[in-house]
Every structure is written in C-alpha cells, then in structure tokens.
C-alpha cells in the first residue's frame, strides 16, 4: 500500500505542527487541565492498560471493562497521585464499563455536558500520552451521527456446537465468552434457550440473531443426564470469533470489544486501544462522553453523556446499597 512520493517540489510539515503535534495541542490547555484532574490512568504494574473517567470526589472511576477484566493488580493515577490496588466494584457488560474504587477523598469529578447532540465538525478533546505527572491531550472532531453499534456478526453464546442424537452438544467453549463465564462446559447438551427448545445449530443461530450482545439468556442444559439452567450473557460474534479483515490489518491497534453498544458518539481522534475509558470533552471542558472503543484507524466510539451519566449515577447508587 505504500507508494513512494516523487521527491521533487516536495515539502513536509514538521511533526510538531501536525494535528496531534504539541504546537497544535497547546491551544487546548484549558481542556488539558480538566484531563489532568478528572481523567485517570489505569496501570497493571508499569503498563498503562486503559484510561478512566473520575465520576466522584470519593474515588469512583469508570473505565472500559474488557481492558481491566482479569487483570490481577490494578493501580490508578489521577493527576500526580498514585492509588494502589483499585477494586473493580461493578461492571456493566452491555456498555463494557467497569466501576473502579480508589482510596481517595478529594478528587475532581468530570462535569457532564447537558447533551451529546453534537453536529459533525464539533471539537472534542481526549487523553493523549501521559507521564507520571503530566497528562497530554489530543483533539479532533465529531465525525458521524450518534447511533447504535450492533454486535459484529450478531449475538452468540460463545460455543461451538455439534448436533447429536441427544441434542445440541457443546464441543468447545470460547475464551472470555459469556458461555465460559456462566460455567457452560464441553459435553453439556443445550435443550432450550429462554424456554424455547433448540435442536439444530441453525435454529439456535436464528433465535440469537434477534437478540443483543450483553443481554442475558436462560440456557437449559443436560449435564451427565442432570438438568440445569445457566444465565449466559451474549457476546458479539466479532468479539469472540475474530477474523481479521483487510481494514483490521490496516488499523493496527484496535479495541478487542468494539461492537454491540446501545448508542455511541463517533469521533476521529485515534489513540491506541489502551487510551479508551477516558472522558471526551467539549471546548468548555465538559464531558460529552467517555471513550469506549477504537473501532479502526478512522473511527473511535464513545458512550454519549446522557447514558454515561445514567451509568455513573446508577452504578454508584447500586454499590452504595
């Protein structure tokens, strides 16, 4: 894909003055100050694994769940301070959001913007590279209409099945799938989904095609002849059975979970997949959303502020009970 550009009459713009260059991002200093105080950097040991959005003074931080799940020890840095052993206190798989709690008392939570009705071309500002003491920013624009991102390839349990005389037998359980988390095992015979009998792979696929990833289904099984019922969270096919397309190969680094969101805003700021979870600010420094998936080299998704606010308030309320 790389062609050589003829050398004559060629001029080149210094990196510093490119869209993500320091000379350009300097103008976003007031938004950077908000990122400095109200975004979090999530670490596993020395590795940055995600960013986060500070939503309360007493230490609640939202981040992208699939980037922090299964990570042994999570440390969080807000502003210049480091907080050891953050706890994942709750997750919302529909939005792929995790609520972290750190031992803090006087954080500066983000201020939510009134809504996410932002026309294409509106400036937005997000986390750029970070150091121990300093957060940088990157800026870009809203690039598409807000909308639902359907699960890539439809919703799946996360198993491969074989049609047998006894019924649909589980041959293999995919790693990180809802099936695995529910405890579904190789050899289990699936008899019904939400009470509807399933005998063929095609019938099961048809049934699931009407459902959404992140929603739960009741799976009745026979294990060693005994009846049992499991709650399985559906995953997006594209997240479980990944087949790299040509565009994926062009995209370099993208989020593992990048589809199956009820609604997103889309912008053109391209951080690495580990930069998800941070706030998306407008020029007023208010959060219009939270980065949730780098879809490919030209598209990044964020949870819109309306839903983000609901998630933040709802999750804090629930863990407070």
16 in helix, strand or coil? helix
Q: Per rule CB under 8 A, is residue 2 in the interface with other proteins?
A: yes
Whether residue 62 contacts residue 312, with contact meaning beta carbons closer than 8 Å, is answered with yes
Integer CA distances (angstroms), 241 to 81, 102, 257, in order? 39, 34, 12
In the complex with other proteins, the residue whose CB is nearer, 16 or 209, is 16
Residues numbered 133-172 forming contacts with other proteins, rule: CB under 8 A: 140-145, 147-148
The two most distant CA atoms of the chain are separated, in Å, by 77
Backbone angles phi, psi at 182, to 5 degrees: -75, -15
Whether residue 117 contacts residue 145, with contact meaning beta carbons closer than 8 Å, is answered with no
* Options 3-11, 155-163, 236-244, 302-310: segment touching other proteins (CB under 8 A): 3-11
Q: How far apart are CA 43 and CA 53, in angstroms?
A: 14
Residues numbered 99-138 forming contacts with other proteins, rule: CB under 8 A: 119-123
Q: How far apart are CA 180 and CA 171, in angstroms?
A: 12
Whether residue 292 contacts residue 96, with contact meaning beta carbons closer than 8 Å, is answered with yes
Q: Per rule CB under 8 A, is residue 252 in the interface with other proteins?
A: yes
Fill in the per-residue mask, 178 to 217: x = in contact with other proteins (CB under 8 A), - = not in contact: ----------------------------------------
In the complex with other proteins, the residue whose CB is nearer, 164 or 247, is 247
* Options 23-31, 36-44, 73-81, 232-240: segment touching other proteins (CB under 8 A): 23-31
Q: How far apart are CA 54 and CA 111, in angstroms?
A: 10
Whether residue 270 contacts residue 290, with contact meaning beta carbons closer than 8 Å, is answered with no
In the complex with other proteins, the residue whose CB is nearer, 123 or 241, is 123
- DSSP 8-state assignment for residue 273: G
* Options 42-50, 98-106, 126-134, 297-305: segment touching other proteins (CB under 8 A): 297-305
Q: Per rule CB under 8 A, is residue 9 in the interface with other proteins?
A: yes
Backbone angles phi, psi at 240, to 5 degrees: -100, -50
In the complex with other proteins, the residue whose CB is nearer, 7 or 226, is 7
Q: How far apart are CA 136 and CA 144, in angstroms?
A: 25
- DSSP 8-state assignment for residue 294: E
Residues numbered 266-285 forming contacts with other proteins, rule: CB under 8 A: 266, 268, 270, 283
Give, for 286, the enclosing helix (H) or strand (E). Answer: none
In the complex with other proteins, the residue whose CB is nearer, 7 or 321, is 7
Q: How far apart are CA 257 and CA 152, in angstroms?
A: 10
Q: Count residues contacting other proteins (CB under 8 A)?
A: 47
Q: How far apart are CA 13 and CA 57, in angstroms?
A: 43
Q: Per rule CB under 8 A, is residue 26 in the interface with other proteins?
A: yes
In the complex with other proteins, the residue whose CB is nearer, 3 or 175, is 3
Q: Per rule CB under 8 A, is residue 241 in the interface with other proteins?
A: no
Q: Per rule CB under 8 A, is residue 298 in the interface with other proteins?
A: yes
Q: Per rule CB under 8 A, is residue 263 in the interface with other proteins?
A: no
Q: Per rule CB under 8 A, is residue 1 in the interface with other proteins?
A: yes
- Interface with other proteins by CB under 8 A: which residues? 1-3, 5-6, 8-13, 17-21, 23-24, 26-27, 30, 119-123, 140-145, 147-148, 246-247, 250-252, 266, 268, 270, 283, 296-299
């Amino acid at each position: 894909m790389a062609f050589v550009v003829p050398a004559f009459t060629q001029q080149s713009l210094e990196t510093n003055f490119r869209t993500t260059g320091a000379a350009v991002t300097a103008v976003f200093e007031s938004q950077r100050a908000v990122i400095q105080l109200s975004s979090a950097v999530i670490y596993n040991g020395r590795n940055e694994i995600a960013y986060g959005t500070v939503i309360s003074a007493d230490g609640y931080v939202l981040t992208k769940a699939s980037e922090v799940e299964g990570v042994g020890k999570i440390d969080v840095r807000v502003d210049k301070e480091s907080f050891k052993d953050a706890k994942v206190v709750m997750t919302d798989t529909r939005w792929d959001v995790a609520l972290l709690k750190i031992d803090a008392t006087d954080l500066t939570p983000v201020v939510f913007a009134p809504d996410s009705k932002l026309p294409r071309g509106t400036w937005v500002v997000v986390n750029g590279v970070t150091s121990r003491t300093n957060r940088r920013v990157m800026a870009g624009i809203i690039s598409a209409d807000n909308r639902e991102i359907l699960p890539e390839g439809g919703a799946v349990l996360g198993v491969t099945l074989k049609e047998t005389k006894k019924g649909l037998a589980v041959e293999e359980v995919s790693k990180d799938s809802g099936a695995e988390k529910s405890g579904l095992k190789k050899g289990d015979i699936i008899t019904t989904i939400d009470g509807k009998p399933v005998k063929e792979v095609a019938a099961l696929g048809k049934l699931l095609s009407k459902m959404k990833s992140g929603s739960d289904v009741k799976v009745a099984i026979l294990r060693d002849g005994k009846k049992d019922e499991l709650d399985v969270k559906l995953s997006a096919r594209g997240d479980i059975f990944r087949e790299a397309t040509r565009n994926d190969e062009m995209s370099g680094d993208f989020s593992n979970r990048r589809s199956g969101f009820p609604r997103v805003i889309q912008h053109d700021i391209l951080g690495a997949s580990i930069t998800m979870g941070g706030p998306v600010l407008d020029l007023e420094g208010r959060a219009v959303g939270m980065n949730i998936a780098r879809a490919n080299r030209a598209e990044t998704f964020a949870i819109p502020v309306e839903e983000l606010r609901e998630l933040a308030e709802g999750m804090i309320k629930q863990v407070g009970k």
